[in-house]
Amino acid sequence: METKIIVIRSDREELSLEEEAGLREAGEVIKNGGLVAFPTETVYGLGGDALNPESSKKIYAAKGRPSDNPLIVHIGRLEDLDLLTDHVPEEAEKLAAAFWPGPLTMILEKSRKVPYETTGGLDTVAVRMPSDPVARKLIAYSGGYVAAPSANLSGKPSPTVARYVIEDMMGRIDAIVDGGEGEIGLESTIVDLTVAPPQILRPGYITGRMLEDALQAPVETDVTILKDDSGQAPKAPGMKYRHYAPKGDLVIVEGTSEQVISYINERAAADMAAGGKVGVIATGEQASRYRASVIKSVGSRRDENSIAKHLYTVLREFDDEGVTQIYSEGFDTDGFGQAIMNRLLKAAGHKVVRL
Ligand code: AMP
Ligand code: MG
């Protein structure tokens, strides 16, 4: 299959005529049952018509994703929620008012219009309204309902730049909208509103505290988010797969800065002596203190947003560079940090050294 690349380089709010025409064409592709990868404020999505079961099947095939792992339906207007569910709970209205458009996915009871192919056989549907203007335009041109998981091959980190979408999806889908780098860099927060109290199934930029503030009521968090989930099934089917896994063997090292630096340097020296190529995921503050084959600064310890934005790219770069072992500093698990550690722990298969 030939994959068309549609490049967007203008300010996202003011597209050129050519870019606008490209998105319109991409929307037609989705309407006609095809697949288009596109940027959002979280990560790149792989979009198909959410109401067309054949499109959802194609998404699973293109990603190599198990078909029990449901897709998130992306909409552009609040009123479009009514087709996806027969019951919009009061909490959904409050959370939509506070966080949509934005990086929050809500789980609701699905209506009969939503095919089981899209929900992985579940009676619930995941819905999000993205804020990225390019994503919003594409959704409008596509007929309003775009099912989109992250645009990576199953088992690879979610792509935050078009380069990695192209690497994974070239020849497998109809088109890729290259719209630069996403603002947030980690997937949306998922909150299940079909249970009481609401429960966070996947942490993201919108934190539990932000949800509680908006609802003025307690919100729970799936216990498997920061723990090894081998003994307990996570509630979001996709969270049970070992996503985001780099090729190198990743270990997270926690302790004081001095402990972490000396432990990683010792291990790196031993691994390199044994012929390994060792990578370190460091914060900018202490990157210069490591001795290893490749040291990458993922962001500043004082700016969690910068860490989230670069984490997946750093993991992909280590794959490209053929690193055999990776050591990463650990991060606080407060607020947005919980999402960062959740992804890092999954990438590491929960291998953590606590000093
Ligand atoms: P991705 O689109 O790659 O970010 O993955 C979507 C995530 O949303 C996966 O972890 C899914 O398991 C989760 N998800 C989607 N729909 C539902 C649902 N109805 N109930 C629970 N989790 C869901
Ligand atoms: Mg994904």
Q: What is the pLDDT of residues 132-152, one digit of tens each?
A: 999 999 999 999 999 999 999
pTM score of the predicted model:
0.95
Q: What is the pLDDT of residue 182?
A: 87
Please compute the mean of the pLDDT values over residues 323-339 and round it to a whole number: 94
Q: Which of 124-138, 170-184, 239-253, 299-313 has the lowest mean pLDDT?
A: 239-253
According to DSSP, residue 278 is labeled E
Q: Indicate which residue's Cα is closest to atom 11 of ligand 1.
A: 238
Mean of pLDDT over the chain = 94
Please compute the mean of the pLDDT values over residues 270-279 and round it to a whole number: 98
Cα of 172 vs centre of ligand 2, distance in Å, is 17
Whether ligand 1 lies within 6 angstroms of the CB of 236 is answered as yes
Q: Which of 11-20, 78-87, 207-216, 292-301 has the lowest mean pLDDT?
A: 11-20
**pLDDT surpasses 80 at 234:** no
Residues 152, 59: contact at Cβ < 8 Å?
no
Take residue 256 and report the two structure tokens written for it. 């004081």
Report the SS3 class of residue 314.
Answer: helix
Q: What is the pLDDT of residue 252?
A: 97
Q: What is the pLDDT of residue 229?
A: 61
User: Residue type for 162, please?
Assistant: A
pLDDT range class, residue 155, cuts 50, 70, 90? confident
Identify the CA nearest to 104 among candidates 204, 186, 182, 183.
Answer: 204
Identify the CA nearest to 344 among candidates 286, 65, 207, 318.
Answer: 318
Residues 325, 135: contact at Cβ < 8 Å?
no
Whether ligand 1 lies within 6 angstroms of the CB of 85 is answered as no
Q: What is the CA radius of gyration of the chain?
A: 20
Cα of 188 vs centre of ligand 1, distance in Å, is 10
| CATH superfamily entry for domain 4-221 | DHBP synthase (3.90.870.10)
Q: What is the pLDDT of residue 165?
A: 97
Take residue 206 and report the two structure tokens written for it. 């919108």
Cα of 342 vs centre of ligand 2, distance in Å, is 13
**pLDDT surpasses 70 at 237:** no
Other Cβ atoms less than 10 A from the Cβ of 105: the count is 24
User: Looking at the domain 249-354, which fold is it?
Assistant: Rossmann fold (3.40.50)
- Distances 67 to 4, 155, 187, 228, 321 between C-alpha atoms, Å: 26, 14, 19, 23, 32
User: Residue type for 73, please?
Assistant: V
Q: What is the pLDDT of residue 156?
A: 86
- For the chain, give every domain's residue range: 4-221, 249-354
Peptide bond into 103 cis (omega under 30): no
Q: Which ligand is nearest to the CA of 188?
A: 1
Cα-Cα-Cα-Cα torsion 110, 115, 120, 124, nearest 10 degrees, comes to 0
Q: Which residue has the higher pLDDT, 303 or 241?
A: 303
**pLDDT surpasses 80 at 242:** no
